Amino acid sequence: EAGVAQSPRYKIIEKRQSVAFWCNPISGHATLYWYQQILGQGPKLLIQFQNNGVVDDSQLPKDRFSAERLKGVDSTLKIQPAKLEDSAVYLCASGPLRVTDTQYFGPGTRLTVL
Amino acid sequence: GDSVTQMEGPVTLSEEAFLTINCTYTATGYPSLFWYVQYPGEGLQLLLKATKADDKGSNKGFEATYRKETTSFHLEKGSVQVSDSAVYFCALFKAAGNKLTFGGGTRVLVKP
């Protein structure tokens, strides 16, 4: 079974630029999560989708971050414009609908904002 | 709100030493508790979990017991290997909200 795929794996941009990350969850997983992991900290949930609907985006800085999950499969997370404090690893995870406490994580995208 | 507190690292050990990583939590209700591991350059992997008080989760020689009276879920391994070098995250899950809350992580370095 293929795992959660993310791209790119690394991205370096300058502040005020835009960036987008892509996630392909495990086939059949209804739930998809985006986390932000700042160096030395645990992951923090940014947004949670169930199929193509948003379940929780209470921690998403909506003035600059946006996310979508078209057709309930792939998802993109965008930052526009980026700030220095957005430097982090962005993790995508997916999980089956019936086993709600199980999440499978992708390898992450490491973003550096200069 | 819910929170998880882990001992700070790095924890440096010699091969075959005993490992303990402390984890305590604050939460209302009855959360499930997890340990995730992150090997260098990889994503988080579920190591073990416990869903109710007094449950013991175990995997790959690691164990942790859900202690509701002390709100703790300490991770232990009797004899570590170099390959156990990683960052370990304690986390809790609340069914209301389908949300995982992570601790800050503990880096473990095992030397040969």
Residues B90, B104: Cα–Cα separation, whole Å:
8
- Quick check: A15 and A82 in contact, CB under 8 A? yes
| DSSP letters for A8-30 | -SEEEE-TT--EEEEEE--TT--
Q: Which residue of A has its CA nearest to B4?
A: A42
State the pLDDT at residue A1.
65
Amino acid letter, residue B88? Y
pLDDT tens, position by position, B34-45: 999 999 888 899
Residue of A57, A101, A102, A110 for testing the chain B interface, max B β-carbons within 10 Å: A101
pLDDT tens, position by position, B71-108: 999 999 999 999 999 999 999 998 777 788 999 999 99
* A40: closest CA of chain B, how far (Å): 7
The residue written with tokens 């929170």 in the block is: B3
pLDDT tens, position by position, A29-73: 999 999 999 998 899 999 999 988 999 999 999 999 999 998 889
SS3 label, residue A85: helix
